[in-house]
Amino acid sequence: MPRMGGWFGGLVMALVAGAAPASAGAPACSADAGLKAADFSMPVTELRTGAGRPALPALKRMGVRTVIRYYEYPRETLACKTLTAEESDAILAEGLSIAVVFQHNNHDPETFFDASRGRADAKRALALAEANGQPFGSAIYFSVDGVDQVMRDLVYEYGVSGGKPMSAARRRSLIADGKGRHVRHYARFLKYRRDVLDVPVDRIGPRSILPFVKRYFADVAEVFRSEAGEHGGRSYAIGAYGSGYVCDALLKAKLVKYCWLAQSTGWPGYDGFRRSARWSLRQENPTTCQDWTYPRDPSRTVQFDFNQVGATGDFGQWSTKRAQTVAMTRPETCPAP
C-alpha cells in the first residue's frame, strides 16, 4: 500500500520517543520464496529494472505470484494508482494473478463518518471490476487505513494541546516532521468529537470509529448483493485491509471474508491478530528497489510491499477474466504514457 496510513500509525510513540523509518526491517529487493504477493501503487507494466527491462518477469523470479493493485476514483489521491484493463491484461499474460483493493482517503476518519461513502465506493469498485473483467467470486478489498489508530493519536494531541487548537509553533514543528496530516486531522477533531462522537474525550479510542467502519462494510455488502441480482446471483467476496483490531471485528461480524493485516505494527490489535493466523495476507515493511525506475515520473522512488500469504493460499486473487467488460476510462491523473 502507499503510505496513506501505515507510516502514520503509532504517532503517540513517535512523538514521545521517535520512530524508526517505515522501511526498517523491510525485505530486500530480491528473491524470497516466502513472499508470494506484492502490492504496488504504480502500474507494474511501466516499471523498469536496473537493466532497463520490464519488471514483471523480475517479480516472478523473486517468487511473486500475485500483484496487488488499486481501485480508485477518477481523481486519484496518487497518480496512476488505479488498475487499468491494459495493465491487468499484461499481468495475467505474464502468468501472474491479481488482487485488488479500493482506497480513496481511507486513512481519514471522516471518510467513515460519511454515511454515503460505503455505497459510493462499492459502486465505483464494481464499475472498475467490470472494466477489468474481474471474475465473479474473486475478492475486492476495501481499505481501513489506520483510522482506529488516528483516534488514539488525536486524543493524545488533545491532551498535549490542552483541548485547544494547536499552537502555531506546534503546527510548524509537526509539519516539518512530515506529520501535516495529523495537524489537519486534529483541527477537524475538535469539531466532530462533539458533533459526531458525542462522548467525553477520555472515552474516545479505537472503539469509537468501529460502528462507522461496520456501517461502511454493511453498505458495501448491500450494494454487492443488489448487483448480484443482475448477474444471476454472482458477485464478489469482500475483504478488508487494516489493523488487527479492525480485521478481528469485521470477521467476527461476518462483514468480510478476507482480511489483509497492514504492516503497521503499532496499530491496534496487530500482535494478537498476527498470532491468530486468521489473516489472508500479511503485509511487510516497504521494499525499495534502488536501481528500478518509473519513467513516467523519474523522481518517484520504486517502492512496494511484499506480503505473506495465509495458510490456505486463498485471498480472493484472480488469474482469468470474464467475458463481459465495459470500456475502461483512464483516470484523470494518469493519461496514456
Percent of the chain with pLDDT over 90: 80
| Number of other CB atoms surrounding residue 23 within 10 Å | 12
Rounded to 10 deg, the angle between the 147-160 and 206-228 helix axes is 150
CA distance 38 to 135: 20
At residue 7 the predicted structure's pLDDT band, cuts being 50, 70 and 90, is very low
Residue the block writes with cell 481501485: 71
Contact by Cβ (8 Å): 3, 22: yes
Higher pLDDT, 274 or 9: 274
**pTM for the full model?**
0.92
- Rounded to 5°, the CA angle 151-152-153 comes to 90
- Rounded mean pLDDT of 154-169? 96
> For 166, phi and psi rounded to 5 degrees?
-65, 140
Say if residue 6's pLDDT is above 80.
Answer: no
Say what the pLDDT of residue 24 is: 59
CATH code linked to domain 30-150+206-309: 3.20.20.80
Report the pLDDT averaged over residues 282-311: 94
Per residue in 75-91, pLDDT tens?
999 999 999 999 999 99
